[in-house]
Structure 1
Amino acid sequence: MGIGGIGIWQLLIVALLLVLLFGTKKLRHLGNDLGGAIKGFKGAMKDDAPPPKEHPNRVQDLRS
Structure 2
Amino acid sequence: MGSMSWIHWVVVLLIVVLVFGTKRLGNIGKDVGEAVKGFKKGMQDDDKPSAQLGDESRRNDSNAASRNDEHTPR
> Shorter-normalised TM-score: what interval?
0.5 to 0.7
Post-superposition shift, 1:6?
A: 2.6
Task: Supply the distance in 2 between the matched residues of 1:44 and 1:6 (Cα, whole angstroms).
Answer: 37
Matched position secondary structure for 2:35: helix
Q: Distance in 1 between matches of 2:4 and 2:35?
A: 27
Counterpart residue number, 1:12: 10
- Encode CA deviations 1:2-39: one digit per residue, 9 max, x unaligned: xx823211111111011000100000000000110111
TM-score (norm 2): 0.54
Number of residue pairs matched by the alignment: 47
- Range with greater deviation from structure 2 (41-50 or 24-33): 41-50
Alignment RMSD: 2.0
5+ residue gaps, structure 2: 49-74
Selected match of 1:43 from 37, 41, 44: 41
Structure of greater Rg: 2
